[in-house]
Structure 1
Amino acid sequence: MWLSKRFKVAALLTSWAANALCSSSDVGFLSPHKNTTCYPKLNVEELAARLSPHAEIYEPGSDGFIEGTLRWSAYHAPTVSLVVVPRNEEDVAETIKFANEFKSPFFAVNTGHGTITSQRKMRRGIEIWLDELRTVDISEDGKTAVVGGGALTKTVAETLFAAGKQAVTGFCECVGLLGASLGGGLSILQGKHGLAIDQFVSLRTVLADGSITTIDEDSELFWAMKGAGHNFGIVVSATYKIHDVEHQNWAFTAFTYAGEAVEDIFQALNDNFRADQQPADVVIAVAFELLPQVDPENPVIIVLVIQEGKDALDPVFAEVFTNLNPLATQTEIMPFDKLPIVLYANLEAGPCQRVGLNYFRHPQSIKEYNVASQRELYELFTDTIRAVPALNGSQILIDHFPTQGVQAIASESAAYPHRDKNIYFAPTIAYMPDGPELDKEAMKFSSRIREIVHKGTGEDKRSAYVNYAFGDESLPELFGEPWRIERLRELKEKYDPYGRFNFYAPIE
């Protein structure tokens, strides 16, 4: 059931009233950086009266509520008492003001792909589901596009490509572009154009007090929004730089190897695709996974190589991996907007489905592979899926990106701290929930991967991309040097002193 301003709302949530209690240990809703443990009775009729005629409010048990609260990972998800679907920025602002008045937490959601465990702190709050804010409008000069806060990567990529344009977007069609961009925004185009945050021209944002503002290079918040934006507001639309499509086609080849090739694969990547060697038009992704049709017992290693503007990989690149004697090779030619199909990241693919699985990620960002560590990872993966078959749908995913466009931007120009890294480990431990013992095994598996990768770097400090974060990372791991964290804390104190946006990698 959905409700709007046009409908009378009568005693919707009487069962909530019984739960409208505050814990005796509550330190107070208005204490800086504290998330409330109050569960107030919400006057839904009043909220509906404040919203535009077509804004929607979903109550628990309705189809809209179920759809709106369904997440990619079921593990440590936020709990929601009400889902609001705004139709414009004023609806977002009014919902925040309403939540503040009723001392209710709130949480913005695009497609629900965030897995960081800090989200579980949002208890019985209002979800602001940006599903209807999906517009993509190209400027007359063709240099920018205004992208709605709820726009999917698929929507943006296909709309722009049809107009001969492209934006710095990620692989996965089902992820919301803005949510991913606020943490940095990795992309197959970053070698040429930089990260997604480097494309921001301005951000139309609702702040913690419900005020609406435009954040651009003249705003002190612009720096913080580029890498830590989840902490400062809800972006209802963003003006992005867009680029002409230079080449229609991309060459794609997938090489599949048996476990015996681990050392050869990663030595070849070190020898041929270091950050200072990898061409801006070549992107590599690596996956350890179990493919029963290839080997029912042992994981394989898949190396995906993508090159822009080619009908086939340049021989110099193809030979690197062909010489390692792959078990199988798959070659395709795809336009930019269809690459997610061959990458198995399109909207219809299994990884995009929200079917109640738990996903764990303990990421690491590095500069070079430790070959011995890669062997240790392979053995860990093999031993784990044999001992715990419920985890055999897991993968160790590695994004290996070019850096020219990323490093052309001054590191101090944005809160994002990892411009010196080009390899992103994103282990994805996937399983159907089946009790705490399986959770413990998944946690052990995931965290052990992180330990092995970090040890192999020889560095004292770990480094993690915030969009892949698990939730137990320190602020230096996510946001870098002390000066960055100090600056972020100062801005947090100024713009969100009560921690209203403390549910995604909070700066506390």
Structure 2
Amino acid sequence: MFFNNLTILQLGLLLLQGSTTFAKHISSQTCNNCSCVIAETLGPKLSAGASFAYSTVAAPRWSEFDAPDPGLVVNVATESDVLITVQYCNENNITFLAQNGGHGWGQTFHLGLEGLLINLSGLNSTTFNADKTEATIQGGALVRSVVDAAYSNGAQIPTGNCNCVGALGAILGGGFGRLMGLYGLGVDNLLSLNVVTANGSQLTVTPETEAELWWALRGTGPNFGIVTSATITSYPVTTAENGAWAASFIFTEDQIEDVVEAVGALDLLPEMAVFLYYAVSDGTPVVLVSGSYAGANNSDGPNAFASITAVGPVVEQAAWEPFNEVNAGGDSFCAKGGYKPAYGAGLAELVPATWRSIWNEFVDFVAINGTSASTVMVDCYPMEKDPDSTRFLFVLSLEIYYQLQCCISFGKSVRSLWYETSGIATNATYINYAVGDEPYSVVYGDNLATLESLKSVWDPSRKFDQFFPL
């Protein structure tokens, strides 16, 4: 589907509207008559910076597994371009999907060649008010650019941990990250949302203006509109405090039960985040624990993780890092392309015996040719700010295509093991880590009926029907 390092032919398309000439750069790759007509008729309505492409190389997905495959990509340059494009699609009965980082891996996408993808990556600014207590993030900004902007402005913003993920996409799904113990979920820090709705209107949504839509957008945003920008609380910090003690520990197979028990029993302080991995390093499956402790460079981090180091890691690396570098350890997850079915589950506790069973399956799985980039991972966060939340877990599986069924079987098996000893009464998962084969009660929980009711009000024609559609 994707062609890395593809040289795209850039053609000048002159579109006339009255006496004004519009130049839109478009790619001729796989152009079909329908797509060309859309570009020719939509182009004059958009800003001068907007452009078109006829290949998904212009907006690649993190995983090609069940990825959208649009006939036309519209690279918007202004928030108004998004509104105009949605209005055009509504007028011409064209299916559309908005995308930023392209990391949504759910198997519910069905955008085909007759559809149009709105690429938000050109909307990537992050700006602050005078006292740095509020930030406005555009819909195309990635986590990396938001963290960089916050750091250079002497502030912190609760974002996700993966630099290449769309910041607002992660936040609108809930928005957990390594700062949530201090500031709460990203979604709880939102102040206002600029939204293009299904009927082609632009609204500024706040708790005061549209209380029900505000509630629905914060957690299920892709079902109710395209958020072109959002204002969120930011937290001024000094340079000395704007960082974290970050560490990585590698353990051997015989230490699994001790490691899992230590992580599960860890006193998660608000400044902490902990990650437990099964991965392959230099051809060998390994157990890895990484963690961070936000704040000034002092002894708090090592003390907080003392129970982990007491297990006896065979490799230990630790250092204080400025906050704009703390997420760099996850950049290996940012490679796009390839088939990566992913399965997730919410857990309230870690059971050592379960993790031993998962390890046994993991070792067998990564022995198969082409699977060595696969990872099993658990994220652990302090929940004082969000006491009703669970610990969020997911499995990432990279598999070459002809062995895809093996990959899916492995992911489902690990998820079943998690469910069996999750420590919660009913199966649950985080929407950003859901797959699409779960009952929607697992994804939306007790909110499902209310969300379905609001969907009939705000999107009765089901224009937004790609990402776990209600």
Q: One fold, TM greater than 0.5?
A: yes
1:307 aligns with 2:323: no
| Distance in 2 separating the partners of 1:87 and 1:390 | 39
- CA pair 46-192 structure 1, distance change in 2 beyond 3 A: same
Specify the alignment match of 2:469 in structure 1.
Answer: 506
Deviation at 1:67, TM superposition (A): 2.3
315-324 vs 332-341, which deviates more?
315-324
1:47 aligns with 2:12: no
Specify the alignment match of 1:214 in structure 2.
Answer: 204
Aligned pair partner of 1:248 in 225, 242, 245:
242
Deviation at 1:305, TM superposition (A): 2.1
| Distance in 2 separating the partners of 1:214 and 1:322 | 49
Instruction: Give the TM-score taking structure 2 as reference length.
Output: 0.90
| Distance in 1 separating the partners of 2:397 and 2:244 | 30
Q: Which digits, 9 at most, give the CA deviation of each residue in 1:417-444, with x for residues without a partner?
A: xx331x211111013x332xx1100000
Assess if the C-alpha contact under 8 Å between 2:244 and 2:293 holds in 1: yes
Instruction: Give the TM-score taking structure 1 as reference length.
Output: 0.84
Specify the alignment match of 2:23 in structure 1.
Answer: 7
| Distance in 1 separating the partners of 2:156 and 2:97 | 30
- CA pair 237-9 structure 1, distance change in 2 beyond 3 A: closer
Specify the alignment match of 2:427 in structure 1.
Answer: 462
Aligned pair partner of 2:401 in 429, 434, 452:
434
Assess if the C-alpha contact under 8 Å between 2:96 and 2:111 holds in 1: no
SS of residue paired to 2:324: helix
Amino acid at match of 2:170: A
Percent identity between matched residues is 27
Equivalent residue runs for 1:1-400 within 5 Å? 1=10, 3=13, 6-7=22-23, 16-17=32-33, 42-60=37-55, 66-68=57-59, 70-218=60-208, 219=210, 220-245=212-237, 247-273=241-267, 278-292=268-282, 296-297=283-284, 299-309=285-295, 310-341=297-328, 343-345=329-331, 350-354=332-336, 356-386=337-367, 388-400=368-380
43-52 vs 216-225, which deviates more?
43-52
Q: Which digits, 9 at most, give the CA deviation of each residue in 1:276-296, with x for residues without a partner?
A: xx210111011101112xxx4
Q: Which digits, 9 at most, give the CA deviation of each residue in 1:189-234, with x for residues without a partner?
A: 1111111101111100001111100111021200001101110111
Aligned pair partner of 2:383 in 395, 403, 406:
403
| Distance in 2 separating the partners of 1:122 and 1:439 | 21
Amino acid at match of 1:353: A
1:489 aligns with 2:456: no
Amino acid at match of 2:318: T
Assess if the C-alpha contact under 8 Å between 1:205 and 1:213 holds in 2: yes
- CA pair 43-385 structure 1, distance change in 2 beyond 3 A: closer
| Distance in 2 separating the partners of 1:306 and 1:14 | 46
Amino acid at match of 1:500: K
Q: CA RMSD in A?
A: 2.2
Amino acid at match of 1:434: Y
| Distance in 1 separating the partners of 2:158 and 2:349 | 24
Equivalences, count: 448
SS of residue paired to 1:362: strand
Assess if the C-alpha contact under 8 Å between 1:106 and 1:122 holds in 2: no
Deviation at 1:369, TM superposition (A): 0.6
| Distance in 2 separating the partners of 1:166 and 1:42 | 45
Assess if the C-alpha contact under 8 Å between 1:208 and 1:500 holds in 2: yes
Higher strand share: 2
Assess if the C-alpha contact under 8 Å between 2:174 and 2:185 holds in 1: yes
| Distance in 1 separating the partners of 2:25 and 2:131 | 46
Higher relative contact order (CA 8 A, sep 6+): 1
Deviation at 1:15, TM superposition (A): 6.8
- CA pair 493-176 structure 1, distance change in 2 beyond 3 A: same
SS of residue paired to 2:277: strand
Which segments of 5 or more consecutive residues in structure 1 lack a partner in the other structure? 21-39, 408-418
